A and B are shown apart, each in its own frame.
Chain A
Amino acid sequence: MSKYFKLDVKNKKITESLNDFLSRLLEHKVVDVLLIPQRLAKSTVQTVIEDREKIKDADPLAPVIPVNSSIIAANLTRTTLNKKVGIILKPCEIRAFLELVKLNQAHLDNVVIISGDCFGTYTVSDYQEFLKVTDSKRASGDSFLQMVQSKGKVVPLRTACQICEYPTPQNAHISILTCGVDSVKEILLEVEDTLAEKLSPLSLKSASLPKKREAALLKIQKEKKKEREKVFKEIEKDVSKIENFISLFSTCIGCQNCRKVCPICYCEVCLFETNVLKYESAKYFRWAKKKGILRMPTDTLLFHITRMNHMITSCVECGSCESACPSKIPIGTIFSFLAGKAQHVFDYKPGIDVKDELPLATFKEEELEPR
């Protein structure tokens, strides 16, 4: 069960009243430290702050994911914390964070997850385009929210966001609700019961869910679902034939950015950076002789299909891989499409329930037969 509170918004400055609330979390020691996105010149980046005075440039609703913050949150919570840490994550980042908890790369003790309705995000470069067309004095989160709600023309979102299944956060201790809420006047906070008691020194006004929220959410989900089906239909054509699959990855330059930014690919040293894939020269010539031609560098498809096999059951479809690809390969879309198929086998949804076991870390004695 959750409790609902509202924050008044003055002069349409949503972020300002939100920042005021977040700084009071620090003031009343609900949390000791905050992980919070702040404006830094041409971008908005995650920052760690203890001093509530330093919250001024915070832009917690900024529509950009420079890196999937679950990686940052995992760095902060690798060992047991002696401080209460509030981390501001987007819904997809929470899902990745929960997967990292299951993979023993992060901990939930002493963590307060703060999230909000997410209408989508830009890549870092598109975010700069977006900033150019908005009022520089306003927080980018405010401008974006207004654009979305007034249906203005916006720079296209990342594909992963266009086809996102979960625009509203799950498993957050505090959720900032703006969808179906008259956010120019007020913001709604959904707070987990156990935490709600601790918020009493903040003397927040209690509230209830507006009736129109359900319909507003449903509308967004319906739009995204439609887009998802369209995008998947396109990608299925490219994926389902091996020639097309090879052609998709013909522009891959082997930088492995997709792996480096992936929150689930947590291995300290990737198999593909080890000596397992360094060969003596004779081997290249033998391969070249066998097929007549050998693509160099080798192992492009091997890398992608293997990485897929290693992490796809935990893929939360954040699309970080696609944003990081210099060749603009629709790799996030490919992974999203295939992740659904692989996760369906085990009826597994990553990042939804921390108690659901990782499919590859467990088994049943009687299953999957005949093979």
Chain B
Amino acid sequence: MAEFEPKIVAFLCNWCTYAGADLAGTSRIQYPPNVRVIRLMCSGAVDPMYIIRALIEGIDGVLIGGCHPGDCHYINGNYKARRRITILKTLLKEMGIDENRVWLRWISASEGQLFANTIKDIVTKMKELGPNPMRNYWGT
């Protein structure tokens, strides 16, 4: 059987992480093709609903990428994202959904290498965790 290839959804902020991903591309830095990128204006614009939806549907890992603290284009969106994701992860843990499937990372527009490394890290960790069991439950 072929090796398990995790599916990752990445919600990236327009100003930093998305540009960082772009830089990784234009700089021809190699990273695993497991990630599906969704561009948003800010990490603070990610409603937890979209992360929950991805996890319920069986996505193996979710990355939320934002600007470094202090660098947010909208002054404080990333700080708010940090609080929201913390609550989400606290609740997921209590419900028996592995909270380590949700990653919040700060990656700037100049950190193409960091973006590639982060994707590599997630893919490795999700391979260790195995497939998201939610993909087997339809009663959601």
**A contact set with B: CB distance below 8 Å:** 239-247, 250, 271, 287, 290-295, 299-302, 305-306, 308-310, 312-313, 337-338, 341-342, 345-346, 359-360, 363-368, 371
B138 touches A292 (CB 8 A): yes
Evaluate whether A365 and B79 lie within 8 angstroms (CB atoms) in the complex, with A295-B138, A302-B49, A309-B87 already known: yes
CA distance A240 to B95 in the complex (A): 5
If A243-B137, A292-B138 touch, does A341 touch B91 (CB 8 Å cutoff)? yes
A291 touches B90 (CB 8 A): no
Instruction: Indicate the member of B49, B84, B104, B137 with the most A CB atoms within 10 Å.
Output: B49
Distance in Å from the Cβ of B137 to the closest Cβ of chain A?
6
Are the C-beta atoms of B82 and A345 separated by less than 8 Å?
Answer: no
B24 to chain A, nearest CB (A): 21
Contact A368 B83 (CB under 8 A): yes
B residues 71-99 near A (Cβ < 8 Å) are 76, 79-80, 82-88, 90-91, 94-97
Taking Cβ atoms with an 8 Å cutoff, the residues of B that contact A are 47-49, 52-53, 56-58, 69-70, 76, 79-80, 82-88, 90-91, 94-97, 103-105, 133-140
CB <8 Å contact, A300 and B140:
yes
**How far is A291 from B137 in the complex, measured between Cα atoms in Å?**
8
**Least Cβ distance of A362 to chain B in Å?**
8
Q: Is the Cβ of B84 less than 8 Å from the Cβ of A306? A: no
Q: A363-B82, A365-B69 are in contact. Are A371 and B91 (CB under 8 A)?
A: no
List residues of chain A with CB within 8 A of the CB of B90: 341-342, 345
Minimum CB–CB distance for B139 against chain A, Å: 5
Min CB–CB distance A213 → chain B (angstroms): 37
A319 CB to closest chain B CB (Å) equals 19
Whole-angstrom distance between the Cβ of A233 and the nearest chain B Cβ: 14
The interface centre, meaning the residue of A242, A294, A360 with most chain B CB atoms within 10 A of its CB, is A242
Q: Are A368 and B52 in contact (CB under 8 A)?
A: no
| Residue contact B80 to A306, C-beta cutoff 8 Å | no
Secondary structure of the A contact surface, majority rule = helix
17 new A-B contacts at CB < 8 Å, known A242-B97, A293-B138: A239-B96, A242-B95, A243-B137, A246-B137, A250-B139, A291-B136, A295-B138, A295-B139, A300-B140, A305-B52, A309-B48, A309-B49, A342-B87, A342-B91, A359-B83, A365-B70, A368-B83
Least Cβ–Cβ distance between B138 and chain A, in angstroms: 4
Question: Given A305-B95, A306-B52, A309-B52, are A371 and B139 neighbors across the interface (CB < 8 Å)?
Answer: no
Nearest chain-A residue to B79 (Cβ)?
Answer: A363
Q: Cβ of A312: which chain B residues have Cβ within 8 Å of it?
A: 87, 91
Taking the closest CB of chain A, its distance from the CB of B81, in whole angstroms, is 9
- Rounded to whole angstroms, the CA-CA distance of A5 and B72 in the bound complex is 56
Which of A290, A300, A313, A371 is close to B87, meaning CB atoms less than 8 Å apart? A313
Could you tell me if B58 and A291 are in contact, using CB atoms closer than 8 angstroms? yes
Cα separation A367 to B85 with both chains bound (whole Å): 13
- How distant is the Cα of A233 from the Cα of B95 in the complex, in angstroms? 14
The answer for the CA separation of A245 and B94 in the assembled complex, in Å, is 10
List 17 A–B pairs whose Cβ atoms lie within 8 Å, in order of A's numbering: A240-B96, A245-B95, A245-B96, A291-B136, A295-B139, A302-B56, A305-B95, A309-B48, A309-B84, A309-B91, A313-B87, A342-B91, A346-B83, A360-B87, A363-B76, A363-B83, A368-B86
